[in-house]
Amino acid sequence: MNNHALIDKLNTAKALQKAEWVQLFSTFTENDRLYAAGIARNIADNIFGKNIFIRGIVEFSNYCKNDCYYCGIRCSNKNAVRYRLSKEEILACCEEGAVLGFMTFVLQSGEDKAYSVAELCDIVRAIKRRFPDHAVTLSVGELERADYEALYAAGADRYLLRHETANEAHYARLHPEKMTLKHRMQCLRDLKDIGFQTGCGMMIGSPYQTDACLAEDMLFMKSFAPHMVGVGPFLPHTDTPFKNEPQGSYEKTLFVLSLIRIMLPHTLLPATTALGTIHPFGREEGIKAGANVVMPNLSPVAVRKKYMLYDNKICTGDESAQCVNCLQSRLAKIGYTIVKTRGDYLAHEAR
């Protein structure tokens, strides 16, 4: 089958065989990419209209016990200037976000054991008490099921944990031995089972990623049926073992976004900051390829440059308000509007 026929098949069957995925990733042309983008955007427009959801990210700690080879805040990076925000500082970020119209706060950090699960629960409860109509998304890494259950009981609505790669051997080349794909997948299953709107995802063009790896990512996501998918290009960070590795492909990232939209029509799919970093109009093009979420930074300006997962991350100097206004006008230019609603996964309305 030619690539257009494969994309059509995905659009009707919502599934492809592994070999078909590999063919798409290894032979796609600019024409194929634009063909997929047209279908994907049409699907998103039919479901979400011209509306784009916003999430405010609060990067509350860049301490991390892990040592992922790709990540700028890995524990071995002695050049990273570490910080932690207090509960009060986190609440102040949410306060600012609420004024700007954010209805979702994403609390993200490295795997920082200085915050106990009890403390994280306390932070979630405090946010939900102050902002009962807002959604809280957590992105704090791998925990035990009981911890996830406690965080859910405290009121957290959603959880982001990228699987990073669905291929065991590839996973082992991106992470030290004590991190396993098996545990990560267990976490994802637990999160979804507990009731979180759950997000997985991967980088495009991470070192040692093959088209077979990407095919496995697609097959995994088809069966897992995540509510959210985070996808952006791999970008090297100078203080990591992957500093000399090439960045991921911008076009391939856009193509993958479109294929995810076609395969999982209702998924909440951000045009990521990494996509906006690799190309000046990356986020706009991500939307045009089928994404329907943007995630501006709500972290205090003083710490933004310290949460550097990769080099040259955008939006680390501005006020939060500037980013919202900037995105508002950028999206308006391509015919989209930021909506100030929670933006839950359909059939997962506020519980």
Residues making contact with ligand FES (CB under 6 A): 296, 315, 318, 322-323, 326-327
Burial of residue 327 (number of CB atoms within 10 Å: 0-12, 13-18, 19+): buried
Looking only at residues 246 through 285 of this chain, which bind ligand 5AD when binding is defined by CB under 6 A? 274
Least CB distance from residue 235 to ligand 5AD, whole Å? 4
Given the rule CB under 6 A, which of 56-64, 212-220, 229-237, 282-290 is the region that contacts ligand 5AD? 229-237
- 68 vs 293, beta carbon nearer ligand FES: 293
CA distance 304 to 317: 7
What is the full DSSP assignment across 42-87?
Answer: HHHHHHHTTEEEE-EEEEEE---S---TT-TT-TT-TTS---B--H
- 162 vs 279, beta carbon nearer ligand 5AD: 162
Residue type, 215: A
Supply φ then ψ for residue 241, to 5 degrees. Answer: -60, -20
Looking only at residues 291 through 320 of this chain, which bind ligand 5AD when binding is defined by CB under 6 A? 309-310
Q: Pick from ligand 5AD, ligand FES, none: which does 204 bind, CB < 5 to 8 A by kind? A: none
Nearest residue to ligand FES on Cβ basis = 326
Q: Pick from ligand 5AD, ligand FES, none: which does 234 bind, CB < 5 to 8 A by kind? A: ligand 5AD
Give Dmax over CA atoms of the chain in angstroms.
57
Q: Pick from ligand FES, ligand 5AD, none: which does 54 bind, CB < 5 to 8 A by kind? A: none
Identify the CA nearest to 327 among candidates 343, 315, 316. Answer: 315
Looking only at residues 56 through 75 of this chain, which bind ligand 5AD when binding is defined by CB under 6 A? 70-71
Task: Tell me which of 36, 39, 106, 203 binds ligand 5AD, using CB under 6 A.
Answer: 203
DSSP annotation of 114 reads T
Q: How many residues bind ligand 5AD (CB under 6 A)?
A: 12
Least CB distance from residue 29 to ligand FES, whole Å? 31
CA distance 78 to 135: 35
Ordered alpha helix ranges (H), 225-299? 250-263, 273-278, 282-288
- Interface residues with ligand 5AD (CB under 6 A) are 70-71, 162, 164, 203, 232, 234-235, 237, 274, 309-310
